[in-house]
Structure 1
Amino acid sequence: MTAPRPAEPPSEDLSRLAALHGVATSYHPSPDRTVAASATAVTLALAALGVDTAAPGAVRAALTARERELGARLLPPTVVGWGARTPAALAALPEGTRLHVRTEQGETRASAEHLPPGVHEVAAAAPDGRTARAHLIVAPTGLPAPPGRSYGLLVQLYSLLSRRSWGMGDLADLAELAGWAGRVLGAGFVQVNPLHAAVPGLPTDPSPYRPSSRRFPDPVHLRIEDVPEFAYADDRVRALLERAGRLREEVLDKGALIDRDAVWETKREALELVHEVPLGPGRRAAYDDFRAGQGRALQDHATWCALAEAHGADWHRWPAPLRDPRSPDTARARRELADRVDFHSRLVWLTDAQLTAAQRAAREAGMPVGIVHDLAVGVHPGGADAWAQQEYFAAGMSVGAPPDAFNARGQDWGLPPWRPDRLADSGYAPFRALLRGLFRYAGALRVDHVMGLFRLWWVPEGHPPTEGTYVRYDAEAMLAVLVLEASRAGAMVIGEDLGTVEPGVREALRERGVYGTSVLWFERDWDGDRRPLPPDGWRADCLATATTHDLPPTAARLSGEHVELRDSLGLLTRSLEEERAEAAADTAEWRELLGRLGLVRGAASEEAEIQAVHRYLLRTPARMIGVWLPDGIGDRRPQNLPGTWDQYPNWRLPIADARGRPVTLEELAGSARLRALIDVLRG
C-alpha cells in the first residue's frame, strides 16, 4: 500500500508573506525536530486574517503590498510602554518627530515621558510628512509578589454542595467556604473553575471551558434566597424550594449526578418570579448605574440571550439580519424584546453582586488573595461573545494543539481565535474589557493556557488538527494589558503553563510578575535523568499543587486506580499491563523520594502518603501551594477525564469521600482528615 504523500510546504513567497502576518510555516514539537506546516493551513490562516492568496499572482501582490505598508508605517496600531520609560517604538521615531499624547486621564502632552499607567492615544508627525495615530498602552513594569507565602483550596464550584444549595454548588457556598477556610484553616485563597456564562440549550455543554461569554458570569451560580427581591415574590417561588430540595437530595443522598440543566430550569423559574418584584429606589439606582457602567457590552449580551430564547442558541442559524448585532433588525428586536433583555441584564447584575460578596467574605476572613477566578482560553462559536464581537474573531478557524507525544492526532477545542490584527487596531479593547470585568471580583486570575498570549494553534474548519498552524499574537501588548488591569485591581495573575511551552515564554511571564503552575507529577528533571525534581529545584513564582481538575486525585494516582479507570473506558493506547507497570514505576520513584526526605510520618497509609506529598510541596520554594479540595477527604474520581465525552460524567460529580459518598460543605468543615492535611501546611 502506498504511503500518503506529505502535505505540500509553502512556497518562498508564501512563507515570507506568512511571516509578515505572524503565521508560522513550521513548528517544533521537540527541540530537535521541525515540522513544516502545509501550504493549505498557511493559506487558510492568511485568509482568516483578510489576506487573499487564492487568485493567480495574489501571493506576490499581497507580499508586495504588505512590505510597502510596513516600510511606510510610522507606528504600529498599538504601542507598549513599561513604567516611566519612553516606549521603544516612540524612542525609535525619526529625529524631529512631533508627538501629541492624549492620556486616559484627559491630559494633553507633547512627549511620552513619565506617562501614568493607562491606555492613551498618541499622534506622531515625522519631518518627512508621514503621520500616524496609535493606541499607547503604559503598564507597570510588573506585578508585585503577594505578601508572604500562602496556601489555599482548589475546587470546582458546582461540585461543592451545601444543605442549602439547589442541586449544585453556588456563590453563597463559595462565600461560606472562603469565610471558613480563611478564619479556621488560615487559607490564603480559594481557586474555582471558570464561572463564565454557558451556552443555553438541552443538554447544556457542562464544560466550564467552552462558555457562551467570558465577559459575563452565569446566573446558574446564584443563591436565589440571597436575592433581596426573593422575600417579596409570591408563593409560587417558595413552591420551587421543594423542587430544589429534591434536586439536592438526589445528588447528596441518592447518588445522582449533578443535573445542571434541571438546576437552571428551577432557578430560572424562580428568577422569572423574582423579576416581577419592582426594585426599590436604591436598588433601581444601583441597577441603572451597573447597566450604564457596563454599556454596550451588557446590552449585547442580554440581547443575545433574549434572541437565543426565540431563535436557538447558535446565532449562525438565526434569520440573516439578526446575525449582525448592529443591524436595524437587531435593534428592532431588542426593542420588541425589551422585557427579556432587561431580565437577562438583571441576572448579570445579581450574579456580579454575589461574586463581589464572595470575594468580600474571603478578604474579611483574612485571606490575602481571596477568590482566584479562572479565565477560559476561548468561547463557543455560537455564543454571545462570538456574536457580539464578530469582527475580532477569525472566521473559519478553531483553536487547538498540534500533535505531540501525548496526542498524535492533535486537538481541536472548537473555540474561535481572536484576530491579532483586529485586537491591535482596537488597542486590545475587547481583551481589556474582559479582564476589567473579571477583576471586579477576583483577588487573582488564573489564565488557562497562558501560552495563548503568545501564539495559538489555528485549525481550519473541516480539517484535522494535524493540518493547523501557529499564529502569533503581540505578546508584549497582551501582557501589558494583563498587567495593567491586574494592577488597577490590586490582583495577581497565575498562568496555566503546563505542557509544551516554547522557549522564552516562562521567562517573559516571570519578568512581569505572572506566576506559573507546577504540578508535582510533572516536575521531573526532563533535561537529565528524568527523575523527580528535588524540592529545591522548583521555581518560587508558581502555584504548586499535587493535581488538577483534569488529572486523577492523589489517592487514585497513588493506588493506580486511574489506570484501571482509563482501561475501563477504552482510553489506553498500550496494554493494561504496560500502563500499570509505567504508572507503578512513576509512583515508586516519588514514594522513594518522599521516604528519603523523611516526609511520610506514622504508619504507612493512603492518608499519610497524601500528607507526605503536601509536605513535599511545602519543602519547595513555591510561594503558593494549592490543595485540591477532594484530596482532603480521599476522593478518587477526576472531575474531568480528557478524551471522553459521554463515556464519563465530566463536570457532573459532587465532591465525595474515599467510598464515593457525596460530602456536603458542612461535612467538609467538620472533616478531621481535611483538617489534618491542612495542618501539614500550617506546620
Structure 2
Amino acid sequence: MNELLKELAEKLGISTSFTYGCGTIKTSVVGDDVLRFFIESLGYGAKNDEEIRKSLERLEKRRWQKAAESVYVMTVDEQGFDLVLSEDEAKGEIEVSYAPEGNGDFSCLAVNFSEQERREEGHTAYVRLAAALQDRLAPGYYDVKIKTSRGEYKTLLAIAPKECYGLDTKGKGKLFGFAIQLYSLKSRRNWGVGDFTDLESMVDILANSGGDVIGLNPLNVLLHDCPESASPYASTSRLFLNPIYIDVEKVPFYEECDKDGQAIWFAKEKENIDYTAIYNAKIKALRNIFARLKANEGTDYYKEFEAFKAADTGELHRLAVFQTISEEKSKVCNQASKDWEDALSSSLGSGVEKFAAEHLYEIDFFKFLQFEADRQLKMVERKIKERNLALGLYRDLPVGVSKDSAEVWGDKYLYMQGSGAGAPPDNYFPTGQKWMLGAFNPFELKERCYKPFIRILRANMRYAGAVRIDHVMGLSRLYLIPDDGNEGTYLAYNVKDMFNILALESYLNKCVVVGECIGNVADGFKEMLAERNIYSLGVLWVERKDDNGTLKTPSEYERKYFASVGTHDMPPLKAWWYGTEIGIMKDLGLFTDEEAQGGYRWREHERRLLLQALDSEGVWPEDRWRKSDYLYGDGYPEGIEEAVHAYMSKTNSEVFMLQPEDIFQSMKVQNLPGTDIDKYPNWRSRLPVDIEDMESSEAYQRNIRAVKKWR
C-alpha cells in the first residue's frame, strides 16, 4: 500500500484495513483504488503522490483557516473550546458572550485562555488558544460571540450531559412490553395493514396486561410512487411518517366521501400485504377528504392544518415537492430521482421553483398526509398517558435512507456522493451486503452544526419514551461501498460529537436510547454504550457463553438490556424450532445442500441447548412439563413459548420485549436478510390472529401469566 495514500486516508477517517467475522477473525486490507475513490469523494486529490502531498498540506492548513469552528460539542464536565487567532489578536482583549440558541439575549462568559500551538503562515504568526469556561453552563445549545481587536467571530456550543436520559420505571420494577411490526397487525376494521388506531388498541391490551412499552418498526415515510418498496429501513425521509398507517375512517370528512369497500376487501383477503392496493385505496380516499377540507376552510381542523404547515422550517415543503415530482414522473415512466433531468434532480435544481408554483394543490395534499399522520400518532401518545404506561412507544430510527430519497434529493451535498452504506463481509454474507443507503458526509455534517442529525433525532423521539438506534455503531463509522463496485471500507464520524449530541437530545426530549449492535462490533464499543447509559439489545439467540452455543442464564444478562427472544430479522420461535429459514435459504439457492444440512444439524444442537436451559431454570408451565427430548421431527413442545418467555422474564434486564409472532406461533419470517421482494415477501406477513381476539385467546393469557410471574 502507498504509505502517503494510507496517511491521507487515515487523516480523513477512511479505514485502510478492517477486521470482520465471528469466531475466526479475518483482516481485509483496503485496495488503493477504493481509498482514492473515497478520498476524492471527500474533496481531496489522490491521483498521484504530488496530489496526495498537496492534500495533506491542505488538511493541515484547514486546521488554521478559521478562528472558530462552526460548532463545539462537549459534556458538562469538560466545557471549553479552541480558537485560532493571529498573535496580535491573541495578545489583545478577547470578550466572549453567550445566549441560549436563538434567544439573542447575550451575557458575558468568563473564559481562561492558554496557548496550545503556534504556526507561521507567510509573515503572520497564528496561535491556537484553549478556551476553558469558568462559568458552567447547563446542558443545551448556546450561541457564542468572540470579540477581538480584529472583529467578531461566532460559533455554537452544544453542551451534553455525560449520560443519556435514564429509564424511569415509575416504581414498577422490571418492565415488559410488545415488539410489534405495525403493518402486520390484523383487525376486523383496518384496511389490510395495521394503522394508528390498531396501535391505540395495542396500548389498551398492553395496559390491561400490566405492560409498559410498545416497540415499533420504523414509522418513516417511504417512496410514494413505489408502494412495494416496503422496507421500513429504507425510508425516503426519517423526518416524517408513513401515511399508510393513517386510519382513513378516523379522518374528519371521511363520512362525506364515496367508499370503495370492494377494493379493500380484496386486499384484506390476500395472504400477504398488498401494499400497492392498500396504499392506493388510502390515497384515493384521502384525496377525497382533502378536497372536502379545502372546501371547508373555516373549520378548526383546517386551522390546525394551516398551523402545522406554518411550523415547517423547509423540510416538509421539500418532501411534498419531491413526492409531487415523483408522482408526475410515475405517470410517464418509473424513474428514480437520480435519473430526473438536471432542472429537477435536486431541490436546488433550476426548475424546482417553477414546478412547485404550478403544483400548489398537489404539494398541499402531501403536506396534509403528514399533518394527519402526526395528528393520529399524537392520539396514540394521549392514550399512553391516559393508561399510565411507564415508557410508552419505543420507536426505531434507521441507519440511513434510500439514495433515491427525499432526504438526499433535498440536501444532496450533505450526503456522500457515488457510494452508499452497506455491511462488510461476515459468516452469513462472505462478500458483504450492498444496501446502498445514503450516508452523511462527516465534514459537511459538522459544518452544519450537526443540525440535520439533530432534526432526525427529534423527529423520531417525538411521542416516544425510547428510541432504538439501528446499527448504532454507524454513529462512529459506516461501511461504504462505491455505487459501481463491490469492495468498500469504513468511513469514520466524530464519535465523541455524535454520542454527545445523542445524549443531549435524549436529555432534552426525555427519551431513553437503545443501541442495536448485533454483528460486527468494535472492541470496547458495548462498554462505551454502557458508560453513556445507552441500553443494548439482549437477544436470546445471540447471548451465548461459548463457541458451543451454550445460552447465557437469566442472571448473566446485563441490567441495561432491552431483552427479547429474537428480532424482525430472525424467525419466530416456532419457525426457529423447525429451521424454517434454513429451508427457505436452501430453496432460494442461498444455501447449498451441504450448508443447509449443516444448518439443520446445528439447529438440532441448539434445540437441545434451549431445552437444557429451560429445564435448569425450572420455567416450564406446571401443566405442560416437557415429555420428551423432541428430536428433529418429533414435534413442537407444548408450552415452550411460555417457558421461553418466563426464562427471558427472569433476566436481570430492565425491559423484556415479547413478540406476538412467538405468542401466536407464527411460521413466517418478517424479513430474510440478503433477499429482495423477488425472492421472499419481506415486510408483508400479518399476524395469525385479529387484535380483537388477542386478549381472550388462551395462548395470550398463558404467555402473559408466565411473564408476570417474574416481572
In the other structure, the counterpart of 2:558 is 539
* 1:122-161 matches, cutoff 5 A: 122-124=144-146, 133-142=154-163, 143-147=165-169, 148-161=173-186
- Aligned-pair distance for 1:611? 1.5
- What is the identity, as a one-letter code, of the residue corresponding to 1:320? D
State the partner residue of 1:46. Answer: 39
**Equivalent in the alignment of 1:110:** 108
Matches within 5 A, 1:82-481: 82-83=75-76, 85-90=77-82, 98-104=95-101, 105-111=103-109, 112=133, 113-124=135-146, 133-142=154-163, 143-147=165-169, 148-182=173-207, 184-202=208-226, 204-231=228-255, 233-234=256-257, 236=258, 239-248=259-268, 250-251=269-270, 256-277=271-292, 278-312=296-330, 314-464=336-486, 467-481=487-501
Shift of 1:103: 2.3
In the alignment, the residues of structure 1 paired with residue 25 and residue 663 of structure 2 have an alpha-carbon distance, to the nearest angstrom, of: 42
1:26 paired to 2:17: yes
Distance 1:350 1:88 in 2: 44
Aligned length: 653
1:481-560 paired onto structure 2 within 5 Å? 481-526=501-546, 531-560=550-579
Q: CA deviation at 1:317?
A: 2.0
Distance 1:495 1:223 in 2: 31
C-alpha distance in 2 between matches for 1:126 and 1:118: 26
Percent identity reads: 28
Aligned residue in 2 for 1:563: 582
C-alpha contact 2:225 2:327 (8 A) present in aligned 1: no
Structure-2 change in CA distance of 1:343 and 1:101 (3 Å): same
Answer whether contact 1:399 1:416 (CA < 8 A) is retained.
yes
Question: Secondary structure, in 3 states, of the residue corresponding to 1:276?
Answer: helix
Partners of 2:297 and 2:210 in 1: how far apart? 39
* 1:272 CA displacement: 0.8
- Distance change (3 Å), C-alpha of 1:32 and 1:222: closer
Residue of structure 2 aligned with 1:593, choices 613, 625, 636: 613
SS in 1 for 2:260: helix
Of 8, 22, 37 in structure 2, the residue corresponding to residue 17 of structure 1 is 8
1:553 maps to a residue whose letter is P
Mean CA deviation greater in 385-394 or 435-444: 435-444
Long gaps (5+) in structure 1: 1-8, 657-662
Deviations 1:270-312 (A, max 9, x none): 0110011124442232222211222211111111111111124
Residue aligning to 1:672: 698
Taking the aligned partners of 1:126 and 1:654, their CA distance within structure 2 comes to 65
Q: For each residue in 1:596-653, what CA deviation from the matched residue of structure 2 results, as whole angstroms up to 9, or x when unmatched? A: 2212233326342222212221222110100011111111211111122222211111
**Alpha-carbon distance in 2 for matches of 1:181, 1:311:** 44
- After superposition, the C-alpha distances for 1:385-444 in whole angstroms (9 at most, x for unaligned) are 110021211010110111122321011111021111111011111111112222222222
Instruction: Report the Cα offset of residue 179 of structure 1.
Output: 1.8
Deviation at 1:670, TM superposition (A): 2.0
Q: Give the C-alpha shift of residue 141 in structure 1.
A: 2.3
Q: Which has the higher strand share?
A: 2
Summarize deviations over 1:319-367 as a string: whole Å, max 9, x none.
Answer: 2111231345211111110000100001100001111111221232221
Q: How far off its partner does 1:214 sit?
A: 1.1
CA distance in 2 between counterparts of 1:92 and 1:388 reads 34
Matching residue's letter, 2:14: V
> Any conservation in 1 of the 2:571–2:667 contact (CA below 8 Å)?
yes
For the pair 1:651 / 2:670, whether they are aligned, the reply is no
- In the other structure, the counterpart of 1:616 is 647
CA distance in 2 between partners of 1:640 and 1:530 (Å): 24
8 A contact 1:79–1:87 mirrored in 2: no
Letter in 1 for 2:47: A
State the TM-score, normalizing by the size of structure 2: 0.87
SS of residue in 1 equivalent to 2:513 = strand
Instruction: State the SS of the aligned residue for 2:643.
Output: helix
Contact 2:220–2:238, Cα closer than 8 Å, also in 1:
yes
Specify the SS of the correspondent of 1:394.
Answer: coil
Question: What's 2:57 paired with?
Answer: 64
Distance in 1 of aligned mates of 2:583 and 2:462? 43
The answer to whether the Cα contact below 8 Å between 1:543 and 1:623 also exists between their aligned partners in 2 is: yes
Give the deviation of 1:678 after TM superposition.
1.3
Which segment is superposed worse, 561-570 or 294-303?
A: 561-570
CA distance in 2, matches of 1:391, 1:671: 53
Question: Aligned partners of 1:421, 1:132: CA distance in 2, in Å?
Answer: 20
RMSD of aligned alpha carbons: 2.3
Contact 1:99 1:124 in 2 (8 A): yes
Q: Is the 8 A contact 1:171 1:221 kept in 2?
A: yes
One-letter amino acid matched to 2:612 = E
The answer (yes or no) to whether the contact 2:273–2:685 under 8 Å persists in 1 is yes
Are the structure 2 counterparts of residues 16 and 71 from structure 1 closer, same or farther at C-alpha, using a change threshold of 3 Å?
Answer: farther
Secondary structure (helix, strand or coil) at the match of 1:521 reads coil
Counterpart Cα distance in 2 of 1:55 and 1:123? 42
SS at match of 1:540: coil
Looking at structure 2, the residues matched to 279 and 213 of structure 1 have their Cα atoms a distance apart, in angstroms, of 29
* Aligned amino acid, residue 43 of structure 1: R
Q: How many angstroms does 1:562 deviate by?
A: 3.4
> Greater CA deviation, 113-122 or 16-25?
113-122
Report if aligned partners of 2:549, 2:606 keep a CA contact under 8 Å in 1.
no
* Farther off after superposition, 328-337 or 263-272: 328-337
Contact residue 359 and residue 443 of structure 1 kept, 8 A: no
Counterpart CA distance in 2 for 1:640 and 1:529 is 27
Name structure 2 gaps, 5 residues minimum. Answer: 110-132, 627-635
Q: What is the one-letter code of the residue matched to 1:672?
A: E
Separation in 1, partners of 2:25, 2:137: 44
Question: Would you say the 8 A contact 1:541–1:623 is kept in 2?
Answer: yes
Given that 2:238 and 2:459 are in contact with CA atoms closer than 8 Å, whether structure 1 keeps it comes out as: no
The answer as to whether partners of 1:393 and 1:417 remain within 8 angstroms in 2 is: yes
Moved more, 304-313 or 172-181: 304-313
Distance in structure 1 (CA, Å) of the matches to 2:313 and 2:70 = 25
Q: Is the 8 A contact 1:555 1:606 kept in 2?
A: no
Distance 1:603 1:92 in 2: 72
Q: Which amino acid aligns with 1:216?
A: F
Inter-partner Cα distance in structure 2 for 1:20 and 1:452: 19
Q: Aligned letter for 2:620?
A: V
Task: Check conservation: 1:257, 1:653, Cα contact below 8 A.
Answer: yes
* Residues in 1 aligned to 2:148 and 2:608: alpha-carbon distance in whole angstroms: 67
Whole-angstrom CA distance in 2 between matches of 1:603 and 1:120: 62
Rounded Cα–Cα distance in structure 2 between residues aligned with 1:158 and 1:12: 51
1:625 aligns with 2:656: yes
